[in-house]
Structure formats: structure tokens, C-alpha cells
Amino acid sequence: MSVLDDSVAAIRDLQPHKVVVFTGAGVSADSGVPTFRGPQGLWRSYRSEDLATPEAFARDPKLVWQWYEWRRGLIREAQPNAAHRSIAQLATAVVITQNVDNLHARGGSRDIVELHGNIFRVRCTREGTITVADEPFASLPPHCACGALLRPDIVWFGEMLPEEAVERASAAIIGADILLIIGTSGVVYPAAGLVALHRGLSIEINPEASALASACTYAIPSRAAEATPQIINAILEGQR
């Protein structure tokens, strides 16, 4: 039997009802969204890690926003793939994501914890108000109605994760019957450290074993869009 077969058999034995899905960039790779650390993630001569910082924004907000508008354009054209859509079939599942691409919501998931924010929201640097901003901006950098600069509502390097998101994610993972870890490298902390809170059945889906693979019950070497639907179907069978 393959690791996928073993995973399906374990799910059928357990018949889990409290499901948590923890996702990273790999879940959106089949939608055409470049993975954060992949070669397609490069923009001009800059690294993502050099632009996604408060210091970079303070130094050159227009440059940072040019990069984000490029990313927003790519993501706007992307569509949820089979992994997003199958996860959404789990109506009561909690989806915890490190992604900022909004594809889980567009794919139909309802209970989503966005650890790193959302690229289609903006935050006023003076008032802290957060608003949805789906469409391209007329000029860069964008400004709030109050006159202050707007920044992406995203957690940058050097910033803390939102306390409420961490609390919700931690509680969900601790209480889960099964934890699915899909498309994450497992190297971005503190988000990756949350999976250590789970003590039950855990299944990783990733083409290459991540830093979390050794801690999982099963690690399926597959792309998210290929293996996720089969795993979700097994869970749904046990919930009928």
C-alpha cells in the first residue's frame, strides 16, 4: 500500500469530525500562484524578504506597493484549484492558512484563520482601520481618506502574528481529531510551531517532505491538488 492508501485507511478507522486544515503556499501552486521561496517568486532584483518589511515600507513605500500590485495582479487572475475546492466541502472544518491570497475563501471555505493577513485588504497607517481593496489602485502608494498612507494588511517580517488569529488557531489544533498539513515548508515560525500542539492523527501533503514531516503520522509525497481531494473524500465518508 502507498502512504496515501495508508492515510485513507487511518481516516476510515478514525472517522474524524473535528477537522483542521493547515495550509501554506503549496496549496495554491496549482492555481499558478508562485510559491513564496520559489524562483518565480522573485521580482526585479529584489527578494521577497527584502520588501516585506516595515523598514522597506518606511524607506520606499512606492516600491513596496509596486511589488504588491504585481502580486495582487497575479493572484487576482488565479482560480481556486481542486485542493481549495475539496477543502471547502468540509463545511465545519477550520482552515488555518499562512497564505494571503484569499483563494480559500474564493474556493468556498467558511471558517478561515488568516495567520499572515490578506493581500486584498489594506490598513491605514494612522488610524489602523482595515478595509477590503480588491481592485487595482489608481496611483501608488495608495492613501486613506484621512490622508495617511495605506499598507497591505499583511504580517511582515519582524512583526507579530495577530493575537486573535494565534489564539483561534491554537484552540482549533488542540481540539482537532485530525490535522491536515498541506503545502507548507514548515520553516516559517511562529506559524509552523502551532502544529506541535496537535496530538492526534496528522497527515502532511507536500511534493517534498517538509520540516514538519517527521512529526506527522503520515507524509504523502504529492502535490496538493492531486492528493487532497482523496483525503477529503475519505473524511466525508466517515461523516455521512
pLDDT of residue 43: 54
Confidence of residue 48 (pLDDT cuts 50, 70, 90): confident
pLDDT category of residue 41 using cuts at 50, 70 and 90: very low
Decide: 118 and 153 in contact? Cβ < 8 Å: yes
CB 205 within 8 A of CB 182: yes
Q: How far apart are CA 46 and CA 168, in angstroms?
A: 34
d(CA 70, CA 125): 21
Residues 153-171: tens digit of each pLDDT: 999 999 999 999 999 999 9
Please report the domains of the chain, with CATH numbers, ordered by start residue: 1-32+80-116+162-240 (3.40.50.1220), 34-77+117-154 (3.30.1600.10)
Residue-wise pLDDT tens digits, 16-30: 999 999 999 999 999
Assign 42 a pLDDT band (cuts: 50, 70, 90): very low
Looking at residue 98, the DSSP 8-state letter turns out to be: S
Model confidence pLDDT, tens digit, residues 187-229: 777 777 888 899 999 999 999 877 777 789 999 999 999 999 9
Question: Could you tell me the pTM of the whole model?
Answer: 0.92
Query: Given CA atoms 183, 189, 191, 196 in this order, what sign does their dihedral have?
Result: positive
* Alpha-carbon gap, residue 12 to 6, rounded angstroms: 10
Question: Residues near 164 by Cβ (< 8 Å), separated by ≥ 6?
Answer: none
Say how far apart CA 105 and CA 89 lie, in whole Å: 12
Catalytic residues: 116
